[in-house]
Amino acid sequence: MSGGEVAGILVAVFWAILVSFLAVVLVRLAQVLKATTKLVADVTEQAVPLLADASTTVRSARTQLDRVDAIASDVQEVTSNASALSSTVASTFGGPLVKVAAFGYGVRKALGKSTEAAPQRESRRTVIVGRTVPAARRRKQKG
């Protein structure tokens, strides 16, 4: 055997080892790709229903928000109507009620003066700064 033949055999053995190593790497890579494909298929199988449920939930939330918005606008309208009604009632009945109250006060005052002129049947007492004054003394103080 000559040096060229030994070198050729060494190169052939080297290439055989390299090809064997590459074959093992490719087999392992094929297994990893197969496992990855299976994993992606499983995730897709589970993700599609989850996405459908999420889409349904988002649609339902949007519907509920639309309802809440409608309720809020109705409440705002009712509040403005109540405010307008309150101001209308105040302007409509406020003036006449003040006049009726003033008239009633005047009538009470007028009737009160006429009853003061009449003799009092019962003895009344007036409280002045924490003490009671008899009716006779009170008349003297007013007089």
Q: What pLDDT sits at residue 124? A: 60
Asked if residue 134 lies in contact with residue 125, where contact means CB atoms within 8 angstroms, the answer is yes
Task: Tell me the whole-structure pTM to 2 decimals.
Answer: 0.39
pLDDT confidence of 13, banded at 50, 70, 90?
A: very high
Q: What pLDDT sits at residue 127? A: 56
| Burial group, residue 133, by CB count within 10 angstroms (0-12, 13-18, 19+) | middle
